[in-house]
Amino acid sequence: MTDKAFLDSIKWTDDGLVPAIAQDAKSGRILMMAWMNRESLQLTADEGRAVYWSRSRQQLWRKGESSGHTQIVSEIRLDCDEDVIVLQVEQLGGMACHTGRESCFYRVLKDGQWVAVDPVLKDPKEIYA
């Protein structure tokens, strides 16, 4: 892909980033939200797998590079304000979260407290061993 026009139409933050939401294409479960810069979005489109920008490490983050939990991307959408991305993904390994859960959104607000309601599928020590 050589046409970069689709990157130019995005309203990047001052840091050159755009939030990207990963949704499980089959179950519809929202798995995580991370950030992308121009290069990571281009790579995601080219490679067909989610490549984010790690703000903490300040480097490209090929999701699954250490865990094996790659996200195969079947669709990329943009919102009306052109400042948020949604990815439809197949989540390899069945878990997106570094805590070993399917989704990073495993806590629910109940009676004024965040309560973890989703099971840990795999011990993180095993994931990142």
Binding footprint of a second copy on the chain (CB under 8 A) = 1-3, 5-6, 9, 19, 21, 23, 27-30, 32-33, 45, 75-81, 84, 86, 97-99, 101, 104-109, 112-114
Complex with a second copy: residue 56 or 59, whichever CB lies closer: 56
Find the shortest distance in angstroms from Cβ 105 to a second copy: 4
Find the shortest distance in angstroms from Cβ 87 to a second copy: 10
Which residues have a Cβ under 8 Å from the Cβ of 47 and sit 6 or more positions away? none
Please provide the distance, in angstroms rounded to a whole number, between the alpha carbons at the two ends of the chain.
36
Find the shortest distance in angstroms from Cβ 120 to a second copy: 11
C-alpha dist (Å) from residue 62 to 9, 45, 59: 23, 13, 10
Name the residue with tokens 């020590």: 125
